[in-house]
Structure 1
Amino acid sequence: MRQPDIEIYLKDAELDAISAWLTAALGDCGEWQARGQTFKTLAGGIPATWLPKAVGKWHSLLLESDATPWATDRDCAEAACAALGVEVRCAIGGWSEDESDEAADRWLRVTAEGVSEITWRTG
């Protein structure tokens, strides 16, 4: 099932590398505009938000569309890991405000070695 948006967390990723990857995957990535602590752009017409150090050393990338090449956060995380060579994390499935704390702490860890489920307490 296609998710309405995509959000992944990347460790040690540089914004220039993210821009190059988004350009290759989605189309031209515009210049990032600072908005407080976040940066926004359009990549292939898709609104993208970059939040450096959203969770400790982890940077958040939010693609605000269901029209990406990836149906799920996991698909995007696997593509980002392969293209950028960095560890990526994402929610196991769609996220909702009313899920339990225990369920909210279940994440997927994507590395060159593969995908594994982890407990990641972000709050």
Structure 2
Amino acid sequence: MRQPDIEIYLREDHVKDLLAWIPEALGPLVLEEAKGNTRQGVIQSTPAIPLMIVRKAAGKWTSIWFDSAETPWASDTECAHAVHTALGHEVRCSIGSWDESEGVIDPDRWLKVNADGESEFVWAL
């Protein structure tokens, strides 16, 4: 099932690599000036993909949110794998999509994709 949006986390020091990769992989990227730790933009693909970057969303980790169901990836996990393959840096994401009707989930359960593969871990934010 395709997620309605995609969110991954990347260490702050690797975001520059991601911003260089996005235009190659998805299309031209237009970013607004940062407002505090938040920077919004749009990937000019067809259709356009809104993007929001929140620095230090989780300590040294930056949230990258593709606010569209029209990304090349069906899930956060697929995106994490694609970004890790392209950049070689660890990428983190939620275990899976969640809907309020599903009740309470464990917010500390996360997935990391790195040189060792894919593994679940507890991320006490």
TM score, norm. by length of structure 1: 0.88
Superposed counterparts of 1:12-91, under 5 Å = 12-44=12-44, 45-91=48-94
Q: How far 1:16 moved relative to its partner?
A: 3.0
One-letter identity of the residue aligned with 1:66: A
SS in structure 2 at match of 1:16: helix
Identity, in percent, stands at 47
Q: Write the letter of the residue equivalent to 1:33.
A: E
- Quote the offset at 1:62 in angstroms: 0.2
Give the letter aligned to residue 104 of structure 2: E
Q: Contact 2:9–2:91 (CA<8 Å) still a contact in 1?
A: yes
Structure 1, 90-99 or 58-67: larger mean CA deviation = 90-99
**CA 1:63–1:96 in 2, change beyond 3 Å: closer, same or farther?**
same
Secondary structure of the equivalent of 1:68?
coil
1:99 aligns with 2:104: yes
How far apart in 2 are the matches of 1:116 and 1:93? Answer: 13
Q: Normalised by the size of structure 2, how large is the TM-score?
A: 0.87
Alignment RMSD, CA only?
A: 1.6
Report the secondary structure of 1:104's partner residue.
Answer: coil
The 10-residue stretch of structure 1 (38-47 or 24-33) with the greater mean CA deviation from structure 2: 24-33
Structure 2, unmatched stretches of 5+, are: none
Moved over 4 A (4+): none
Tell me, yes or no, if the aligned pair for 2:15 and 2:62 is still in contact at 8 Å. Answer: no
- 8 A Cα contact 1:13 1:84, kept in partner: no
List runs of 5+ in structure 1 lacking aligned partners: none
| SS in structure 2 at match of 1:34 | coil
State whether residues 31 and 39 of structure 2, in contact with CA within 8 Å, keep that contact through their aligned partners in structure 1: no
> Matched residues in 2 for 1:25 and 1:3: separation?
20
Aligned residues: 120
